[in-house]
Amino acid sequence: MPFLPTTKKEIMEAGWDQPDFIIVSGDAYVDHPSFGVAIISRTLEAFGFKVAILAQPDWRKPQDLLELGLPRLAFMVSGGNIDSMVNHYSVNRKKRKKDLYSDEGIMGKRPDRATIVYSRLLKQAAPKVPVILGGIEASLRRLSHYDYWDDKVRPSILLDAKADLLIYGMAENTVVEVAQALNSGLAITDISWIRGTVIQSQSAVEGAVVLPSFQEVKNDKKAYAQSFKLQNQNRDAISAKVLVEPYSDVSLVVNPPALPLTRQEMDDTYSYPYMRTYHPKYKFVPAIEEVRFSLISNRGCFGSCAFCALTYHQGRVITSRSKESLVKEAIKITEMPDFKGYIHDVGGPTANFHQPSCQKAKESGACVHRECLHPRCKNLEVSHKEYADILETIGKLPKVKKVFVRSGIRYDYLLYDKDDTFFRQLVLHHISGQLKVAPEHISNPVLDYMKKPHHEVYEKFVLKFEALNREYNKNQFLVPYLMSSHPGSTLQDAIALAQYLKKNHKRPQQVQDFYPTPMTLATAMYYLGFDPLSNKPVYIAKTNSEKLSQRVLLQPTLPKNRQLVLAALKEAGRSDLIGEGADCLINNRPYRRTYDKHH
C-alpha cells in the first residue's frame, strides 16, 4: 500500500477526481502510527474516504494552500505532533535551531501558531469549504487559555483561527463520525452533537456547565481559576458535561470527550497499512529515529502530573492493545530491511500503565474529585502481568535480540506492585544501560505542587533498583529527569536539590526548566500565582533571572554557570556553600581557562 497522495499528480494517479479531505500539516509527512496525521488519515481511509496530505505548505505564498485543489468535504488542519510554539522556542523564548519534524531537521518550514495561520489562509482562499482543526495544538487550546509566549490570555483557537469545527483528544471515532455526517449532506454548522468536538453556537445548551465568559477570564484571575476548576472536573469522557464559554457575540460549546477506544478499536487503529517511515520526497526526518522500531502499547494516564496536559488530551482512563496486536506489529518491524534485532520501546505516555487504575475507571470513568496516584487511592489496582507477558513474548520472536523500555516508567506504581516479577524482568532484560525516570525534584512541598510522589518513594525505588542490579551482576544506571522553577519551587528548594545531587555524585547533563504550556495545572498556577483548585498562594519564579538562578544551581560545576551560581548562593544567604568544604557546591577560587601549550 503506497503513501497517500501529496501532489495533484499523485491524486490523478490514484484515479480520484478530488480527495474527500485534504489534511494540512505543520509536520513533514511521516506515515507512522506515532504521528497523529498518519493515524487520522489512515483511519479515514479505512472507512472509505479519500485523503490527501498537504505537508508544510509555504504560508508566505497563500496559493500554496490550494496546491492540491479543493477537497469534496473539508480541509483538516493540524499544527503537527508538537505545539508549533513549543517546537520553535525554548523556555527562555529563544529560537530553536532544529525542527525534528521537518526534512533534515531544518527550522522554519512552518509558521508560528501554525494551526491559526493555515486555517485563516484557507478561509480566505476557499471561504465555502469547511475547515476542521485537530492535533495537539488545537486540542489544548480549545478554550480560552494563558499563552506563555504572548504572556496573556488568548481566546479559543477555534475563534482565533476562524475555523468551522475543532476536534480534540485522540480523535479516531470523532473524525469518522464527523466525516460521515458531512458525507450524508449535513452542513458543517449542523454538526453539533458529536463527542470530542468544539463548535460555535448562538443557542443555549440545556444541562451544560457555563464557564465564566472570555472577557471575565481575560480580565479577572479569580474567573480564570474558576473556569480551570470547572474544566478539571469535566475532563473524563463518562462523567463530563457539555461546557459553554460565552464570548461577546457567540458561545463556544465543548462537547464531552470521546469515549476511550475499546481494545479492539485500538488494535484496529494500529493495524492499518502504515508505510512506517517518511515520504520518499524527503531526505531524512529526524523524528522517525525514536519511533522507527518502537511499539505504542497504551494510551491515557492516571498519573496527574501538574505540568502535563495529557489527561486533557488522552484522558485518565488507560486503554491498551492486545498481545496479539502488538506481536503482529513487532513481527512487521523485524521484517524491515534495516532492523538490527532491537525493539527500542514498547510503551506509551507511561509504559507500565497497561490497565485502568481500578474497576470503577473501567465502568464509570475516572473520579472527578480524586486522583489515583497522588495521593495514592486505596482502590488503585496494580499489576504488570499482562505487560510483562507481552514484553517476554516479543523478546522471544525470531530476529529479536532485545526489547527495551524507553518511554516513561512510573516508579511509584512499579513499587506498589507486591509481585516484583516485572521489576526483576525490567532489570534483567529491558534496560539499555540506562533507565530514564522522572523524580523531578527532592523537595516534598514542590513535589506536592507537581502532584508527584514524595522523595522517600524515589529513594526506596533507587535502593531496590541498585539491589537488583547487584543481584544480577548488572552495571546499569538511572538517569533522573529534574525540573527547575516549577510553581512552588523557591531558590532554597533549588539549592536543596543541588546539595542532593552533589551528595549522591550526580551531574545531570540536561535540566528542564518549567515550560508553561496550555491547559496544565502548573501553567494555571504560573499565571495566577495561586493554585486554582485550592485557591492557596504559590511561589512563582517568573523572571528570567529567577528561573536561570534555579537552573544553573543544578549544574554548578559548568564553567559557564560559575558566576551565576555564586550570585544565586549569595542572594539566598548561602555563602556557606561557597568554598573548599565537602558540602560546598562551588569553590571560591577564580576560574582560569587553560590551554594545551601545543594547541
Give yes or no for a contact between 585 and 498, defined as CB atoms under 8 angstroms apart.
yes
Strand, coil or helix: 89? strand
* pLDDT of amino acid 363: 85
Of the candidates 270, 363, 348, 210, the one whose C-alpha atom is nearest the C-alpha of residue 39 is 270
End-to-end CA distance of the chain: 57
278-295 pLDDT, tens digit each: 999 999 999 999 999 999
**Strand-strand pairing, 197-201 and 165-167:** antiparallel
Contact status, residue 454 vs residue 447, Cβ threshold 8 Å? yes
pLDDT score, position 463: 98
Within 13 Å and on the Cβ side, how many CA atoms surround 420?
Answer: 11
| Residue 584 identity | C
Handedness of CA 390, 385, 379, 427 (dihedral sign): negative
Question: Rounded distance, CA 349 to CA 301, Å?
Answer: 7
Cell of 350: 507511561
pLDDT reading at 515 higher than 90: yes
Q: 3-state SS of 470-523?
A: HHCCCCCEEEEEEEECCCCCCHHHHHHHHHHHHHCCCCCCCCEECCCCCCCHHH
Arithmetic mean of pLDDT, 432-436 = 92
Q: What is the mean pLDDT of residues 32-59?
A: 98
For 446-570, where are the E strands, in sequence order?
477-484, 512-513
The DSSP string of 183-231 is HTT--GGG----TTEEEEESS--TTPEEPPPHHHHHH-HHHHHHHHHHH
The kind and range of the H/E element at 78 are strand 74-78
- Please determine, for residue 595, whether its predicted confidence score (pLDDT) is greater than 50: no
Distance CA 454, CA 443 (A): 8
pLDDT tens per residue, range 73-128: 999 999 999 999 999 999 999 999 999 999 999 999 999 999 999 999 999 999 99
pLDDT of 598 over the 60 cut: no
Using DSSP, state whether 391 is helix, strand or coil.
Answer: helix
Domains and their CATH numbers in the chain: 8-200 (3.40.50.2300), 478-599 (no CATH)
**Sequence-separated (6 or more) residues with CB below 8 Å from residue 473:** none
Q: Residues 180-191: what's their mean pLDDT? A: 98
- Residue 578, strand partner residues: 586
CA dist 398 → 2, 174, 356, 395, 430 (Å):
27, 38, 31, 8, 17
Q: What torsion do the CA atoms of 21, 22, 25, 31 make, to the nearest 10 degrees?
A: 70
For the cut 50, the answer to whether the pLDDT of residue 599 exceeds it is no
pLDDT at position 597 is 42
Bridge partners of 76, per DSSP, are: 23, 132
Q: What's the grid cell of residue 263?
A: 481494545
> Average model confidence (pLDDT) for the chain?
95
| Interval 320-332: pLDDT, tens | 999 999 999 999 9
Query: Which residue's entry shows cell 469522557?
Result: 237
Confidence of residue 158 (pLDDT cuts 50, 70, 90): very high
* Closest alpha carbon to 278 in 289, 288, 293: 288
Of the candidates 169, 234, 172, the one whose C-alpha atom is nearest the C-alpha of residue 197 is 169
69, 314 in Cβ contact below 8 A? no
